[in-house]
């Protein structure tokens, strides 16, 4: 027997997670469908990066912040599925949405919130034979713990903002930082590039990694090639960090009888209330565009609140336009008492 939810959220990143929390606050039966093995979204790609720009939140690492987002999202016990990629959305004769995932299962919902950002993101990997055996040890596609890189020789491959940021961050941590990138100039923020060029880092321009050598599953040497001269060199390394960008899979098919307008850049065209051009389908986060859009984490949270409120009024037009503030909301009464009891011992 099919189970019908009030709202199904596609995507378990910041916008989707806060949508789940707020829809629980509004008393809706909620489901999250996330394509990746775990919740957290893009924030989990930078577990050691400091986040400074969330209101009321002291500086926090991406890993800790993602954990807090997930904990908050589960407050009202939504149904959560990971490793479930939604491939098709349609609407049946009962005005219910049917979401089909890549395993062939169908999920039924009164409304949908698209919170899948630019799609499923996976790091671009080195196209080097045998390199996969080093993954999970000292070949990394996201920043490992800072502690593991302390006083180590670290090579970073990539010339974009993330790679340069990693290199600058490790200047005071690693024994030696080696940066390699294919182009003649880095395509990153000028201030960060200047910091790197005025440091003791080794910068190898017009250079690529041709092979990685090591014993067993641990690499200890990178074989490099200068793409202009063809010169081959070797560097002894303890760790290699690769940031060549991401593959983005935003393939999501929608039934022909559903109208989902997109901007020329591929964003869903909508409004500040999270409404898209299709009644019953809402959006929050990086995948929606409207005038006044704030492309920050705090903007994703505002999108989530507005989208959830719109869902609530779509399902129940007589419902209040917004939820009661948390300090007065009866759903938190028992939790507040528990916290007070813990404080009093």
- What's the CATH class of domain 4-121+247-344? alpha beta
- The pLDDT assigned to 289 comes to 93
Q: Is the dihedral of CA 266, 268, 272, 277 positive or negative?
A: positive
Question: Is 218 known to sit in a ligand binding site?
Answer: no
pTM, rounded to two decimals:
0.79
The C-alpha atoms of residue 213 and residue 265 are separated, in whole angstroms, by 42
The radius of gyration of the chain from alpha carbons, rounded to an integer in Å, stands at: 23
- Is 86 annotated for ligand binding? yes
How many alpha carbons lie under 13 Å from residue 149 in its C-beta half-sphere? 26
The pLDDT score that the predictor gives to residue 338 is 77
Q: Do domains 4-121+247-344 and 125-244 have the same CATH topology?
A: yes
Check whether 34 is labelled as a binding-site residue. yes
Is 42 known as a binding-site position? yes
Q: Strand ranges (DSSP E) for 75-227?
A: 79-81, 86-91, 97-101, 106-114, 120-123, 139-140, 153-157, 176-180, 202-204, 207-215, 218-226
CA distance 207 to 157: 9
Residues 6+ apart with CB under 8 A from 71: none
Taking the domains of the chain in order of start, what are their residue ranges? 4-121+247-344, 125-244
Measured in residues, the chain has a length of 345
* Positive or negative: CA dihedral 276, 278, 282, 288: negative
Do the annotations mark residue 311 as ligand-binding? no
Calpha distance 280→59 (Å, rounded): 37
**60 labelled binding-site residue:** no
CB-facing half-sphere around the CA of 88: CA atoms within 13 A: 13
CATH topology for the 125-244 domain: FAD/NAD(P)-binding domain (3.50.50)
- Residue 241 DSSP SS3: strand
pLDDT per residue rounded down to tens, the chain (345 residues): 689 999 999 999 999 999 999 999 999 999 999 999 999 998 888 888 888 989 889 999 999 999 999 999 999 999 999 999 999 999 999 999 999 999 999 999 999 999 998 666 678 889 898 899 999 899 998 888 888 999 999 999 999 988 998 899 999 999 999 999 999 888 888 889 899 999 999 999 999 999 999 989 999 999 999 999 999 999 999 999 999 987 776 668 899 889 999 888 888 999 999 999 999 999 999 999 999 999 889 999 999 999 999 999 999 999 999 887 776 677 777 777 777 787 787
Residue 46 is assigned to a ligand binding site = yes
């Amino acid at each position: 027997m099919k189970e019908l939810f009030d709202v199904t959220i596609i995507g378990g990143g910041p916008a989707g997670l806060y949508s789940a929390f707020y829809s629980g606050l509004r008393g809706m039966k909620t489901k999250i469908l996330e394509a990746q093995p775990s919740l957290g979204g893009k924030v989990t790609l930078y577990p050691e990066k400091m986040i400074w720009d969330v209101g009321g939140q002291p500086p926090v690492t991406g890993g800790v912040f993602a954990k807090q987002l997930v904990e908050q999202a589960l407050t009202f016990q939504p149904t959560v599925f990971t490793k479930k990629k939604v491939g098709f959305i349609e609407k049946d004769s009962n005005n219910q949405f049917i979401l089909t995932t890549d395993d062939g299962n169908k999920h039924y919902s009164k409304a949908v919130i698209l919170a899948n950002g630019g799609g499923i993101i996976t790091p671009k990997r080195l196209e080097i034979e045998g390199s996969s055996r080093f993954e999970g040890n000292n070949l990394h596609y996201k920043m490992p713990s800072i502690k593991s890189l302390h006083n180590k020789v670290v090579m970073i491959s990539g010339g974009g903002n993330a790679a340069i940021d990693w290199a600058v961050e490790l200047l005071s941590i690693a024994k030696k930082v080696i940066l390699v990138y294919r182009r003649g100039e880095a395509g990153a923020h000028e201030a960060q590039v200047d910091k790197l060029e005025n440091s003791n880092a080794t910068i190898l321009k017009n250079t690529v990694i041709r092979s990685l050598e090591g014993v067993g599953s641990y690499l200890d040497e990178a074989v490099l090639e200068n793409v202009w001269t063809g010169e081959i060199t070797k560097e002894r390394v303890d760790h290699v960090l690769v940031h060549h960008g991401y593959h983005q899979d935003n393939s999501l098919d929608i039934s022909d009888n559903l109208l989902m307008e997109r901007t020329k850049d591929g964003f869903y065209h909508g409004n500040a209330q999270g409404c898209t051009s299709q009644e019953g389908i809402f959006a929050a986060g990086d995948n929606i565009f409207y005038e006044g859009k704030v492309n920050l984490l705090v903007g994703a949270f505002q999108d989530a609140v507005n989208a959830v409120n719109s869902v609530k009024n779509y399902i129940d037009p007589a419902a209040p336009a917004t939820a009661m503030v948390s300090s007065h909301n009866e759903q938190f009464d028992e939790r507040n008492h528990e916290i007070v009891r813990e404080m009093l011992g």
